[in-house]
A = this chain, B = another copy of it.
Amino acid sequence: MKTERINDFVLKIANVNGSGSASANSLLYKSIHHSGIPVSAKNIFPSNIQGLPTWYEIRASAEGHVSRSPRVDFFIAMNPRTIAEDIASVSPGGYFLYDSTRPLNKELMRNDVTFLPIPLAELSVEAFPDVKVRMLMKNITYVGAAAAFLNIELSILQTLLNETYARKPSLAEANMKAITMSHKYASENFTCPLPVRVERNETVSNSIIITGNGACALGCIYAGATVTGWYPITPATSIINVFGQLCQRFRRDADTGKLNAAIIQAEDELAAVGIGIGAGWCGARAFTPTSGPGLSLMNELIGFAYFTEIPVVIFDVQRVGPSTGMPTRTQQCDILPAAYASHGDTKHILLLPANPEECFYFTVQAFDMAEHFQTPVLVLTDLDIGMNEWITPRLSWDDNYKPDRGKVLSAEELEKIEKFYRYLDDDGDEIAARTLPGVHPKGSYFLRGSGHNKYGQYTEKSAEYIEVVDRLRRKVQSSAKTLPPPIIETAENKYGVITVGGCHLAVKEALAELAKDGIKLDYMRIRGFPFSPQAEEYIDAHERCFVIEQNRDAQLRSLLILETRAKKSQLVPILEYGGMPLDAQAVTAKLRGAIQKEISQ
């Protein structure tokens, strides 16, 4: 008998890009979620609009281990062009559902995989004589068969469809018809459900489904951001798509229909960040979303904002570099380029969320910090966090929250003071008060990216210049206290891991895996830069820390080495940078190897 994999399996679907499979796949994903099982989904898509292969991977795990896994327990093959590699990718003992309308090349068959032929196209022809309707229903058909095999309740699918097509009940009906049809066929022709299956859990968590980019956009709304200059780039664009939709909902004047926000599609990233800086200078909360190539283009102006102390929030949804790299694959390869962006001596505040929940809260914090510290703040996420849909704990909002606008002098305050000097830090917190254009004659000053003294005047004098840049260094450093502290889970073992962002699920799963073998490791996840003192203490407490990150050059480790008191030898790099979301098996293996090496030394 086959091993049972109840509420613990990977379902993978092969599609053709641009063929409209998203809603069918998402339906399967959500239905498992609605069955009360922890689940995640990853869309593996090409840099193309139509015709190339894409895959959708769903991992259900009662234990909550939902990082990407390379295993495949149930495959739905909807792309004839990849069928050979698809079959090869199934784990031994797995299942392979395919459209048997056209016969499968016998040579591709495997003995250790159970093939599930369903004549999907044929069934469709019968059920939907109208070609147009049939095309629309093309993908949804496999959902029914999959539901039968995997024991997903039809009622859940029905509920979800009703919600999705609340305004078009006829569509809900047609979809359900397609689903029932293949469900029936599968049930009648095979033993359903399979050992690989869902078993409904009564408690459905109070979660939402949201992408990291969506959560960032929502964060921008809740931070009170009003201006964005942006330029399209995968995987960052959807921050703006969602922000635009949210503005229609939350920022539209009911009477005039006008928006309380300016969304400016710029001509490039130089302009995009320039717009953000201009708006930040004038007192608006402004942001710009981008990815690697855009970050490179923003370098000059980021240095300008740093030196002139203008707040602006930059989202870098990281993708595989260098250069154009793999725009639809994930990496954490801009940590160092972001921390030290621009020529000359600079250093920038980074926020490093791991999931949509943090995307939301950190985004709000990014605006607070940008205005408090009067400097660019970069929020670094990645394609996996940003573009995939995540089951996320419901977000909540503290209605007592008061945005930290930093030291901005009002007209009344200016009225009272003798004379205003832009860069004079009079209370020793390294931050000087600023004023906004248009507010009061006494607040006016001239801002420049060239050498200036603490009064804001042009200078070419060494001592005056040094005074200003030294304060800048201290100012940015002082933000460490305000940044979200690292997540530390136990600090009692000899060895620890350090990780960042979207690695967290895979790393935690790996630690759980190792713990089963009695290998215990401490866990720390960095969430901000400059690093918190707690991060230093954690490193201090360990003989070795394995720094797990998704880039080739150990960028987080480099930053830790340079910016904490850690010894280099304390930090051992563990790197995965092939562009796929981190997988726990690979991490486990590498950790095991690294520990063995430690012990044998």
Q: Which residues of A contact B (CB under 8 A)?
A: 46-47, 292-293, 295-297, 299-300, 303-304, 306-308, 320-329, 331, 333-334, 336-337, 340, 342-347, 448-451, 460, 462-463, 465-466, 469-470, 473, 551-553, 555, 558, 561-562, 567-569, 577-580
Contact = CB atoms under 8 A, between A and B. Distances in A.
A580 B304 CA distance: 22
A293 B303 CA distance: 9
8 contacts: A296-B300, A307-B321, A308-B323, A320-B451, A320-B465, A328-B460, A333-B345, A337-B340
Contacts of A448: 324
B344 A451 contact: no
Contact of A343 (B296, B346, B473, B578): B296
Q: Which of A300, A345, A553, A579 has the most CB of B within 10 A?
A: A345
A342 B337 contact: yes
Contacts of A292: 343-344
A303 B331 CA distance: 16
Q: Which 6 A-B pairs have the closest CB atoms?
A: A321-B344, A462-B578, A322-B344, A323-B449, A292-B343, A296-B299
Q: How many copies does the complex hold?
A: 2
Contact of A331 (B299, B304, B323, B344): B344
Given A307-B323, A326-B460, A337-B340, 6 more contacts: A321-B344, A321-B345, A325-B449, A334-B343, A337-B342, A462-B580
Nearest to A305: B323
A177 B220 CA distance: 74
Contacts of A323: 300, 303-304, 306-308, 342, 344, 449-450
Contacts of A347: 553
Contacts of A465: 320, 326, 329, 578-579
A458 to B, nearest CB: 9
Contact of A345 (B326, B340, B552): B552
A292 B450 CA distance: 12
B47 A450 contact: yes
Contacts of A344: 292, 320-323, 325, 331, 333-334, 337, 551
A466 B577 contact: yes
Contact of A460 (B46, B297, B307): B46
Nearest to A563: B558
Contacts of A337: 340, 342-344
Contacts of A333: 343-345
Contacts of A296: 299-300, 303, 342-343
A303 B306 CA distance: 23
A556 B576 CA distance: 28
A304 B323 CA distance: 5
A531 to B, nearest CB: 15
A450 B303 contact: no
B306 A322 contact: yes
A297 B342 CA distance: 9
Contacts of A306: 322-323
Contacts of A324: 304, 448-450
Given A300-B296, A460-B47, A462-B579, A322 B340 contact: no
A515 to B, nearest CB: 28
A412 B523 CA distance: 59
A105 to B, nearest CB: 23
B321 A303 contact: yes
A555 B300 contact: no
Nearest to A462: B578
Contact of A451 (B325, B567, B569): B325
A321 to B, nearest CB: 2
A568 B561 contact: yes
A495 to B, nearest CB: 21
A303 B327 contact: no
Nearest to A327: B450
Nearest to A45: B460
Nearest to A329: B460
Nearest to A558: B562
Q: Which of A47, A325, A340, A346 has the most CB of B within 10 A?
A: A325
Nearest to A565: B568
A553 B473 contact: yes
A322 B343 contact: yes
Contacts of A562: 558, 561-562
Contacts of A466: 577-578
A577 B345 contact: yes
A555 B347 CA distance: 12
A343 B450 contact: no
A377 to B, nearest CB: 16
Contacts of A342: 296, 321-323, 337
Nearest to A326: B451
A450 B322 contact: no
Contacts of A346: 321-322
Given A47-B460, A329-B460, A473-B553, A303 B322 contact: yes
A465 to B, nearest CB: 6
A20 B115 CA distance: 89
B297 A578 contact: no
Contacts of A328: 460
A321 B343 contact: yes
A345 B322 contact: yes
A44 B38 CA distance: 67
Contacts of A297: 297, 299-300
